[in-house]
């Protein structure tokens, strides 16, 4: 389980350390940085899949995602006595992402290349990557350490071994180097991150694949777009009772069934008062979204971490307590992070035992955690440059 998420210089997240528990709620007003937290987590996940640099390029390049404010705020700036202005930087502004859990911690530092050294002047360069054991980076806890193109790993005897081949500036050590003997931790961390699952807005427009029959292929994990809803929900592989309960909890008296026409599956829903079940194409956006969330949360293969961005979208507030119960249930099997500003969902989740709530706001353009001073925030240390 992750205990800390750390982000620096990503959009409004100038320097944010987020404490994590089993069931987490990230909330705050519009523009406070909630979606940025979600996207930063996705970037971390992309690292383990070899996709962090292309993901940043799709976001408009590293330069545009970097914190646009000054390196530091002086006391006078914070007090509003002087205007905010940049000063000469002590360090280049780099995007830094990291997390720590019970077993391992990981951090990555991405910067811009030295001008003139490469044609790819806007493509980020991975400057540092570290894996350590335990919750906080200490020199003695370092297990794998990348500095530019050089990687070293600590062997069983505690001695450092340098990995013979250099790694390219745009490749993460997590995908390029995976020797189970010299760095088993790297594989453990990588596989853990690869199991993380993210659900953002599901498409439910008329052409959405969710509304159409799909070839029934075994799908223990609902895809990002939910197209495999029918296969994921099929009773053969999932928890049929939990499915019926979740549907009845939200839509009393309704029942979901999957039709199978020559191997093509389609979701149908029997509702009170109707003579026939409605097909995917006939269901309302909110109903379909709820079914997708049910499928995502009742997955027969729970991931280590499940992240939901604004799951309340297009759901009626009356459905939110039922969604909260479903999320709480999922948190028994996976660590869950929910980004939301739906009051009823938040209050339902906050009532759950062990839930951790983080309220964000902005001060001089930088996201911070409300009440950070009075909270017991986890310790965090970035790798030195």
Ligand X SMILES: Nc1ncnc2c1ncn2[C@@H]1O[C@H](COP(=O)(O)OP(=O)(O)OP(=O)(O)O)[C@@H](O)[C@H]1O
Residues that bind ligand X (CB under 6 A): 11-12, 28, 30-36, 65-69, 341, 365
- In the complex with Mg ion, the residue whose CB is nearer, 35 or 271, is 35
Which of ligand X, Mg ion, none does residue 242 bind to, with CB < 5 to 8 Å depending on kind?
none
- In the complex with ligand X, the residue whose CB is nearer, 283 or 346, is 346
Q: Does 35 bind Mg ion (CB under 5 A)?
A: yes
Tokens of 9: 């210089």
- In the complex with ligand X, the residue whose CB is nearer, 34 or 152, is 34
- In the complex with ligand X, the residue whose CB is nearer, 9 or 204, is 9
Cα distance between residue 268 and residue 171, in whole Å: 45
- Considering only residues 71 to 100 of the shown chain, the ones binding Mg ion according to CB under 5 A are none
- Using DSSP's 3-state secondary structure scheme, residue 125 falls into strand
Which of Mg ion, ligand X, none does residue 209 bind to, with CB < 5 to 8 Å depending on kind?
none
- In the complex with ligand X, the residue whose CB is nearer, 31 or 209, is 31
Do 136 and 120 touch, CB atoms closer than 8 A?
no
Beta strands 305-309; 335-339: pairing state: parallel
Shortest Cβ 109–ligand X spacing (Å): 17
Shortest Cβ 197–ligand X spacing (Å): 20
Residue 27 Cα distances to 33, 35, 56, 310, angstroms: 9, 10, 24, 10
Which of ligand X, Mg ion, none does residue 119 bind to, with CB < 5 to 8 Å depending on kind?
none
Shortest Cβ 7–ligand X spacing (Å): 11
Handedness of CA 237, 304, 343, 10 (dihedral sign): negative
Shortest Cβ 64–ligand X spacing (Å): 6
Q: Which helix (H) or strand (E) holds 128?
A: strand 125-133
Residues in contact with Mg ion, counted by CB under 5 A, come to a total of: 1
Q: Does 313 bind Mg ion (CB under 5 A)?
A: no
Shortest Cβ 257–Mg ion spacing (Å): 35
Listed in sequence order, the residues at least 6 apart from 165 whose beta carbon sits closer than 8 Å to its beta carbon are: none
Cα distance between residue 230 and residue 263, in whole Å: 11
Which of ligand X, Mg ion, none does residue 365 bind to, with CB < 5 to 8 Å depending on kind?
ligand X
Which of ligand X, Mg ion, none does residue 31 bind to, with CB < 5 to 8 Å depending on kind?
ligand X
Which of Mg ion, ligand X, none does residue 53 bind to, with CB < 5 to 8 Å depending on kind?
none
Shortest Cβ 345–Mg ion spacing (Å): 15
Which of Mg ion, ligand X, none does residue 192 bind to, with CB < 5 to 8 Å depending on kind?
none
- In the complex with ligand X, the residue whose CB is nearer, 12 or 219, is 12
Cα distance between residue 306 and residue 123, in whole Å: 30
- Using DSSP's 3-state secondary structure scheme, residue 24 falls into strand
- In the complex with ligand X, the residue whose CB is nearer, 230 or 360, is 360
Do 12 and 314 touch, CB atoms closer than 8 A?
no
Listed in sequence order, the residues at least 6 apart from 243 whose beta carbon sits closer than 8 Å to its beta carbon are: 233, 235, 256, 294, 298
- In the complex with ligand X, the residue whose CB is nearer, 16 or 288, is 16
Shortest Cβ 367–ligand X spacing (Å): 7
Cα distance between residue 352 and residue 347, in whole Å: 9
Listed in sequence order, the residues at least 6 apart from 290 whose beta carbon sits closer than 8 Å to its beta carbon are: 250, 251, 315, 319, 323
Shortest Cβ 343–ligand X spacing (Å): 13
Q: For the chain, give the longest Cα–Cα distance.
A: 73
Which of ligand X, Mg ion, none does residue 33 bind to, with CB < 5 to 8 Å depending on kind?
ligand X
* Contacting residues toward Mg ion, per CB under 5 A: 35
């Amino acid at each position: 389980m992750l205990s800390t998420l750390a982000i620096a210089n990503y959009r409004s997240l100038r320097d944010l350390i987020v404490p994590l528990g089993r069931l987490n709620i990230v909330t705050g007003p519009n523009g406070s940085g909630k979606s940025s937290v979600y996207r930063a987590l996705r970037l971390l996940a992309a690292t383990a899949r070899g996709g962090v640099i292309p993901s940043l390029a799709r976001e408009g390049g590293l330069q545009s995602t970097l914190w646009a404010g000054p390196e530091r705020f002086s006391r006078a700036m914070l007090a509003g006595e002087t205007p905010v202005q940049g000063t000469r930087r002590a360090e280049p502004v780099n995007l830094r992402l990291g997390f720590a859990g019970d077993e391992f911690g990981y951090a990555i530092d991405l910067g811009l290349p030295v001008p003139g050294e490469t044609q790819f002047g806007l493509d980020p360069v991975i400057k540092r990557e570290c894996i350590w054991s335990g919750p906080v980076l200490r020199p003695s806890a370092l297990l794998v350490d990348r500095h530019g193109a050089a990687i070293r790993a600590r062997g069983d005897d505690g001695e450092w071994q340098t990995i013979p081949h250099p790694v390219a500036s745009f490749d993460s050590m997590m995908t390029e180097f995976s020797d189970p003997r010299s760095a088993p931790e790297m594989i453990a961390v990588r596989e853990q991150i690869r199991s993380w699952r993210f659900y953002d807005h599901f498409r439910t427009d008329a052409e959405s694949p969710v509304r159409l029959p799909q070839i029934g292929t075994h799908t223990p994990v609902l895809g990002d777009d939910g197209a495999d809803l029918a296969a994921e929900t099929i009773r053969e592989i999932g928890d049929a009772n939990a499915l019926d309960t979740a549907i009845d909890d939200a839509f009393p008296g309704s029942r979901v069934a999957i039709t199978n026409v020559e191997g093509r599956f389609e979701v149908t829903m029997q509702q009170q008062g109707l003579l026939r079940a409605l097909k995917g194409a006939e269901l309302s956006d909110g109903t379909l979204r709820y079914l997708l969330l049910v499928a995502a949360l009742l997955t027969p293969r729970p991931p280590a971490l499940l992240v939901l961005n604004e799951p309340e979208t297009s759901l009626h507030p009356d459905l939110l307590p039922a969604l909260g119960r479903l999320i709480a249930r999922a948190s028994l099997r996976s660590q869950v992070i929910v980004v939301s500003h739906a009051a009823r969902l938040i209050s339902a989740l906050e009532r759950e035992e062990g839930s951790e709530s983080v309220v964000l706001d902005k001060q001089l353009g930088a996201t911070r955690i409300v009440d950070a001073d009075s909270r017991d925030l986890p310790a965090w240390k970035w790798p030195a440059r």
